Amino acid sequence: MRLKPVYVTDPNLVDTPLTEVPNQWAPQQGIHLYHFPLSLDSQKVRQGLDELGIGWQSHPILLPGHQQFSPSYVRINSRCVVPTLVIDGKVTTDTINILDLLATRFGTANQCFETSEEEKALVNYWVDKAAGLFIEALTYGHIDGVKKPFPIGNASDSGRSHQDKVDLLSGLIETYKKDPTLKAAYEKKRAVIEATKEAMVAPGQMSAIVDSTRVELEDLAHQLASGQFADGGWLASDAFSLADVQWGAVLYRLQWVGLQPLLWKDDSIISAYAEKLFAKASFQTGVVQWSKVGRKVILPTIRYKLLKALGLKRDT
């Protein structure tokens, strides 16, 4: 089963994949995307929307400001993550779900992301491979010899940012202890963050994560060089597919956090594939341009947190 388990705000629907579920808290008309500019999964969905030529309304969720934990957003997506797609009041979460929904609903009319049955199975395989990478750990975990870019830096090497989120969620659980929907959502999210933190700081774990990622990229290189679609330059289909959307964002992230020297060579077939992916107009608009916006958004948030930590800024 390809759909990942995601959670809805209705306690009766817990553990049900959330695809096109009506939600009274969401906008009831139009296509809306709740996203963060630098979020990897938001990048994938924005590129998918742009590739399909779909107009959408933007609802930025500022992750550095912890807006993903605000009650109004949690009532739409109880996993406290981005992205979230809303079409006429129906909510879809999880990147794979969202992109599958968009391709099914709009792909044929826009002649985009269409695949044969044989290609579809291979596309799904490579989508799952990309989605299975531990990108959060690779982004925020300490890796010997790798200097992470600003604003990531080394601030999260000790798991401090994850612990801050755990502490925040503990406070929210207490604040909303009489609201079963919010309380359950915060408890689940706290458990996920605690598990992620432990995976990142446990001795030897980051090295193992890097090694397993390198193996996946070796498989990617083999598919690009010897797969049945190697002549066309795409990964799993004669045409640009959802598998390429997934891997474009992944390779862009791995380059940005300085992991390319550890994972693949500059002159490799992966670099050529990445260059082709990054040149797509939809990648430039859905990923690159929004990444520039994201960095501008993060700066004042970090400045505010620093001043607050120093006692020079108070909430009003």
Fold classification of 11-114 (topology level): Glutaredoxin (3.40.30)
pTM for this model (two decimals): 0.88
Delimit the domains of the chain by residue range. Answer: 11-114, 119-279
Task: Give which of 5, 4, 15, 3 is closest to 184, Cα–Cα.
Answer: 15
Amino acid at 95: T
CA dihedral 53, 54, 55, 60 (to 10 degrees): -110
pLDDT digits (tens, 9 = 90+) for 75-111: 999 999 999 999 999 999 999 999 999 999 999 888 8
Handedness of CA 22, 26, 27, 30 (dihedral sign): negative
* Each residue's pLDDT tens digit, 218-272: 999 999 999 989 888 899 999 999 999 999 999 999 999 999 999 998 889 999 9
- Per-residue pLDDT, 20: 86
Report, as ranges of residue numbers, the positions in the chain whose pLDDT lies below 50: 1-15, 154-157, 306, 309-310, 316
